[in-house]
Amino acid sequence: MKSAGIVILIVGLLMTLYTGFTYVTKEKVVDLGELEVTKDNQHTVNWQPYVGIGVMAIGGAFLLLGRKKSLTT
C-alpha cells in the first residue's frame, strides 16, 4: 500500500506540473485504389491543476493510512 501511495503521489505531482497533452491520429479521407489521402487530427487533453493536487492528496493518504501494523499481543 505504501508503494502505491508513492506512485500515486508522483502521478499527482506530474499532473500538477503538466496540465495536459496532445496526440495525433490519422484519418483516411480518400481511398481510390493506389491513391490514398489521409488527414492528421490533433486532439488535446487538458485538466485543471487542482486535479493533480487532489491526486497528490490521495497518494499522501495512502502513505499515511497504508502503514503496516505490527502484530503485538
Asked whether 30 and 37 are in contact (CB, 8 A), the reply is yes
> What predicted TM-score, i.e. pTM, was given to this entire model?
0.67
φ, ψ at 29 (rounded to 5°):
-95, -50
How many CB atoms are closer than 10 A to CB 29? 9
User: pLDDT tens digits, the chain, 73 residues: what are they?
Assistant: 788 889 999 999 999 999 999 999 999 999 888 889 999 999 999 999 999 999 999 999 988 887 766 556 5
